[in-house]
Amino acid sequence: MKQLLIIGGGFAGLKAALSAAYEIKENNGDVEITLISDKDFLVIRPRLYEANPADMKVPLQPILEPIGVNFLQGKASEIDTDSRSISVAITKHLATEVSYDRLILAAGSVLKTPPVPGIEKHSWNIDSYEAAVAFDDHLLKVARLPKLTGHNRFVIVGGGMTGIELATELRSRLRDHADQATADAAEIILIDQAQSVGPLPAETTAEIFEQALQDAKVTVKLGRTLSEITPTSVTLDNGEEVETASVVITAGMRANPLADLLNRDQDQLGRLTVDGSLKVNEATDIYAAGDIASAHIDADNLALMSCQHAMPMGAHAGYNAARDLMALPPRTYEQPNYVNCIDLGESGGVLTKGWDRQVAMSGPEAKELKRKINEDFIYPPQGDAVEILAKAHIDAQWGSER
């Protein structure tokens, strides 16, 4: 029996497992699938800016077991491409080796941390499940213990999508943790080195973002970077010192360092360059999908580090790797239609279409769409094997409302 190994239990990895399982069943393939992840649950990462981040997870085993996909909890630490084997750390003192005939790397991305003194010890982030839960615990502490220095001032570093969503949502989270007076008294500061906030190009959405941040009473400091973070303050590059107990880094991502182990072509974000079938360049038996892959979605644009692109990439990688093992033709990954939906807290939301980000919807209507995306569309199928496989094929969309 041939072995298909998938590293990563995020959106791309889970999509790959489901798509591969569907193809193998449809074609009576003699292929065993194993998914390796350091967590036994899927993190609903796009929702980690929201309240109650501890709830933003879905167990993997009830999805994988009914469709015959093996699950191994551990962290892949070494890849031997000559022997086609992976070293997996099961615990701190226990490791095992797993062999493969085809490998799909879907290990995602990690926070890109700026080189600022004090950032490792004195800042928070919402990039991972553990980090988001830790920040929420901290938020509860500072909201209920006002004697802490800088307890009511929150500095968010990074004015991209995550920074904006957290900034506009933070006051309501403080209200939930404490009361309205605590939320009203909070000072929220958003810092970015660019001259505008939000995804580029900014021309079409700048006014909407500025108004939403203004409505949320967020102070925006543009063209600024950090020079130091201490337990009670942050210093900007112009020498300004801001007293705060809460510095949150949302300054972008880079590919999981696992990509570096292959010694293959990588882009400036550390992503592995792949061909149209999502096979890693100069590799005959390794595919990559999601945030760890640098893939063209059309002739001019690369996939972004986003759930929107990770899910179809995972589906294509699983489909192609499984069919490769069964000597069947692949399908080229293409995803020409690009949209972006951003939560703007009590101001609603904004939906843009196309790479020029033309506004298609805003306000409460866009907020409702964002809610459907976050709470339904990106959630994996549940049920028995028939129900799960019904939403496992390459073109299937998740969510009960799809």
In this predicted structure, what is the pLDDT of residue 344?
Answer: 98
Structural domains of the chain, ranges and CATH numbers in brackets: 2-110+253-336+381-389 (3.50.50.60), 113-249 (3.50.50.60)
Q: Whole-angstrom distance between the N-terminal and C-terminal Cα of the chain?
A: 35
In this predicted structure, what is the pLDDT of residue 215?
Answer: 97
Binned at pLDDT 50, 70 and 90, residue 204 comes out as confident
Query: What percent of the chain is predicted at pLDDT more than 90?
Result: 91
> pLDDT tens, 104-119?
999 999 999 999 999 9
Helix (H, G, I), strand (E, B) or coil at 3: strand
Binned at pLDDT 50, 70 and 90, residue 93 comes out as confident
Q: Flag whether pLDDT at 402 surpasses 60.
A: no
In this predicted structure, what is the pLDDT of residue 146?
Answer: 75
Binned at pLDDT 50, 70 and 90, residue 92 comes out as confident
Strand-pair category, 349-353 with 339-343 = antiparallel
> pLDDT tens, 124-134?
999 999 999 99
Q: Which residues contact 322 (CB under 8 A, 6 or more apart)?
A: 4, 19, 20, 21, 23, 24, 29, 31, 33, 102
What is the C-alpha separation between 75 and 72, in angstroms, rounded?
9
- Stretch 238-242: mean pLDDT: 97
In this predicted structure, what is the pLDDT of residue 82?
Answer: 94
Q: Are 36 and 79 in contact (CB under 8 A)?
A: no
Per DSSP, the residues of 157-183 read: E--SHHHHHHHHHHHHHHHHHS-HHHH
Quick one: 308 exposed, middle or buried, by C-beta within 10 A (0-12, 13-18, 19+)?
buried
Q: Which residues contact 192 (CB under 8 A, 6 or more apart)?
A: 157, 158, 159, 160, 163, 220, 221, 222, 224
Spatial CA neighbour of 208 closest among 360, 338, 337, 354? 360
Q: Are 147 and 245 in contact (CB under 8 A)?
A: no
Q: Which residues contact 208 (CB under 8 A, 6 or more apart)?
A: 344, 350, 359, 362
What is the C-alpha separation between 314 and 311, in angstroms, rounded?
5
What is the C-alpha separation between 144 and 182, in angstroms, rounded?
9
- Return mean pLDDT, the chain: 95
Binned at pLDDT 50, 70 and 90, residue 266 comes out as very high
Q: Flag whether pLDDT at 66 surpasses 70.
A: yes
How many H helices and E strands in the chain? 10, 25
What is the C-alpha separation between 201 and 141, in angstroms, rounded?
38
